[in-house]
């Protein structure tokens, strides 16, 4: 039952070493390698995911600051444009006021001038008419002396009437 056999012992040791080498080559090393590769892959994936997340958070923060800045800027611009519009409005209104006043004044002035011009025209026309009328009344018997006397008389009268008017 218990029979020692040195050859069996030696063979078993050799067998064990051979089996160890074979199993290490065919079983343990490949499996461990795959497991290690997977662990590395998982590690890489997680670290890259974390990195991406961090970057995303960074970007988000940037965007948030940008957006809040933009909002403030918008408000600024709105306020400014409102102010500008108001200024422009008042400026235009003032200008229009001035312009219309000036135009009214100009118109008044030109009317005045027109009136004066018309008056003087009328004066000269009246003088001509008077002259013509006088000439017709006097007829052919007119010489220069008489004419001159008549002129003077007329002018005097006209001047008197004018003077009285003015006074």
Q: Which residues of this chain interact with other proteins, rule CB under 8 A?
A: 1-13, 15-16, 18-20, 22-24, 26-32, 34-35, 37-38, 41
Closer residue to other proteins, CB minimum distance, 18 or 126: 18
Give me the least distance between CB of 75 and other proteins, in Å please: 53
> Is residue 139 left, alpha or beta, with left meaning phi > 0 and alpha meaning psi from -120 to 50?
left
Question: Which residues lie closer than 8 Å to 138 by C-beta, 6 or more apart?
Answer: 146, 147, 150
- Which tokens sit at 68? 């809040």
Give me the least distance between CB of 32 and other proteins, in Å please: 7
Closer residue to other proteins, CB minimum distance, 30 or 69: 30
Closer residue to other proteins, CB minimum distance, 35 or 113: 35
Give me the least distance between CB of 36 and other proteins, in Å please: 10
DSSP string, 74-104: HHHHHHHHHHHHHHHHHHHHHHHHHHHHHHH
């Amino acid at each position: 039952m218990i029979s020692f056999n040195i050859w069996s012992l030696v063979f078993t040791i050799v067998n064990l070493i051979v089996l160890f080498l074979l199993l290490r080559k065919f079983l343990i090393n490949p499996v461990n390698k795959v497991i290690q590769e997977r662990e590395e892959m998982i590690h890489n994936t997680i670290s890259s995911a974390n990195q991406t997340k961090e970057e995303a958070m960074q970007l988000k923060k940037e965007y948030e600051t940008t957006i809040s800045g933009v909002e403030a800027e918008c408000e600024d611009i709105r306020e400014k444009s409102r102010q500008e519009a108001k200024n422009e409005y008042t400026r235009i209104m003032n200008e229009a006021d001035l312009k219309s006043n000036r135009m009214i004044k100009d118109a008044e002035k030109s009317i005045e001038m027109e009136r004066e011009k018309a008056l003087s025209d009328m004066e000269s026309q009246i003088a001509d008419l008077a002259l013509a009328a006088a000439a017709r009344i006097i007829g052919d018997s007119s010489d220069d002396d008489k004419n001159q006397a008549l002129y003077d008389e007329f002018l005097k009268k006209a001047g008197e009437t004018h003077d009285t008017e003015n006074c």
